[in-house]
Structure 1
Amino acid sequence: MALSNAQVASRYGQALFDVAESQEATPQIATELAELKTVIEQQPELLVFFTSPQITAEAKKELLASLQASASELVSNLLQMLSDYQRLQNVSEIIDEFNRLYDEKNGTVRVKVTTAIELDDDQKTKLSAKFAQVVGANKVVLEPVVDKKIIGGVILRSKDNIYDGSVKSKIDNIKRLLLN
């Protein structure tokens, strides 16, 4: 029975997290995985290369070796295992699962912040501190997005919650009330 992508990500992510924890290396591995994910996001053709049947096994091994050269032993072993089991296409989801477990352990919440204008550092700091208070997190990591369609205000989206304080949603609510 074949595993779904979500099952693969969950199992490998959990195993990687457990091994990193046992080696007391989770912060270093999290940093390294973030760098790897950035490379994958900037060059999506990398995963196409590894999954393409037209590319020779030798060429794939050479590219894998170049990725492993700067990696820690743990991440290098993960990449090798994913290559051996032809699961390299799941590496982004595995990294996401590792990050989810790491954030959960550290009380970190990731929040997508949508505003009509770009926030300055002071605004980000205050928003982060206030949201951490509201959700009871030790740390809040903001992912800012600018969307002029919301007119003003802010929309906060975390894994579990959406807080919509945008002017657009308030106008839409007033419009709905007037039409009823």
Structure 2
Amino acid sequence: MLKGAIARRYAGAIFEIARKQNTMDRTLEDVKSIAEVFAHRKLAYLLREPKIPAQRKETALRQALAAKVLPTSLNLALLIVQRELVDVMPHIATEFEHLVLDYRNQAVAEVTTAAPIDDAQKDVVKRALEQKTGKSIIIQTRVDPSILGGVVARVGDEIIDGSVRNRLHVLQQQLLSGISLSNDDEFASEDTEGFAEPANR
């Protein structure tokens, strides 16, 4: 079975437990913590190595997690190790976070701008994305000068590209393919009329 399918199955199981026990926030923290613990090189080797006794693995895992996570979360970690799915844990954490966001009608938007934006500008982008997606948006920002200006937003698998770089690319494609610009086109202006082919006289 593919890692994605396995991750969704385990994420779905722990999600239902967290929902019934009303421990969604804590379980989300736990699942992320488990994924981080599994990423530690020495512990990851110990947990993956088939020659190391299962009891030693369980002891190491309990020492690393028991004081930090809920019993149900610890049981998840133990089950993952028992079934030799340590490499799948990051995918389980990602799938679980997606389930929590969907449950709360939220979405994370990765917003890229050419220069840093202030809180007021973030709020404008947030409201626009909420109107487009119908979800409460959690914004994560990053700066990439190469987009020149505007905003590029990724919400899940959807990319909303409002960058100057993208507009220039679209304009170049239109010019190279010989598409005439109508008066309604967002690029139609005195600045671009000079590129139009001369009319027959």
> 1:13 maps to which residue?
11
> 1:73 maps to which residue?
71
> 2:97 maps to which residue?
99
Give the letter for the 2:31 counterpart: L
Deviations 1:29-87 (A, max 9, x none): 1233334445566x466545532457665653343123322111111110011111111
Residues 84, 53 of structure 1: CA spacing in aligned structure 2 closer, same or farther, 3 A cutoff? closer
Q: Distance in 2 between matches of 1:53 and 1:59?
A: 11
> 2:48 maps to which residue?
51
Equivalent of residue 158 in structure 1, options 149, 155, 160: 155
- Is residue 112 of structure 2 the alignment partner of residue 114 of structure 1? yes
Q: Distance in 1 between matches of 2:114 and 2:120?
A: 17
State TM-score, norm by structure 1.
0.84
Preserved CA contact (<8 Å) 2:113 2:151:
yes
Moved over 6 A (4+): none
Residues 46, 164 of structure 1: CA spacing in aligned structure 2 closer, same or farther, 3 A cutoff? farther
SS of 2:111 mapped into structure 1? strand
Residues 164, 24 of structure 1: CA spacing in aligned structure 2 closer, same or farther, 3 A cutoff? same
- Is residue 20 of structure 2 the alignment partner of residue 22 of structure 1? yes
Q: Distance in 2 between matches of 1:14 and 1:167?
A: 40
Preserved CA contact (<8 Å) 2:110 2:142:
yes
TM-fit CA distance, 1:163: 0.9
Q: Distance in 2 between matches of 1:44 and 1:134?
A: 42
- Unmatched 5+ residue regions in structure 2? 178-201
Give the letter for the 1:134 counterpart: K
Percent identity, aligned pairs only, is: 26
Q: Distance in 1 between matches of 2:45 and 2:107?
A: 31
Equivalent of residue 31 in structure 1, options 26, 29, 32: 29
Give the letter for the 1:108 counterpart: Q
Higher RCO (CA-CA < 8 Å; seq separation 6+): 1
> 2:180 maps to which residue?
none
Q: Distance in 2 between matches of 1:175 and 1:28?
A: 50
Aligned-residue RMSD, C-alpha = 2.3
Q: Which has the larger radius of gyration?
A: 2
Q: Distance in 1 between matches of 2:118 and 2:32?
A: 24
> 1:146 maps to which residue?
143
SS of 2:84 mapped into structure 1? coil
Q: Distance in 2 between matches of 1:96 and 1:53?
A: 26
- Is residue 191 of structure 2 the alignment partner of residue 176 of structure 1? no
Q: How many residues align?
A: 176
Residues 87, 37 of structure 1: CA spacing in aligned structure 2 closer, same or farther, 3 A cutoff? closer
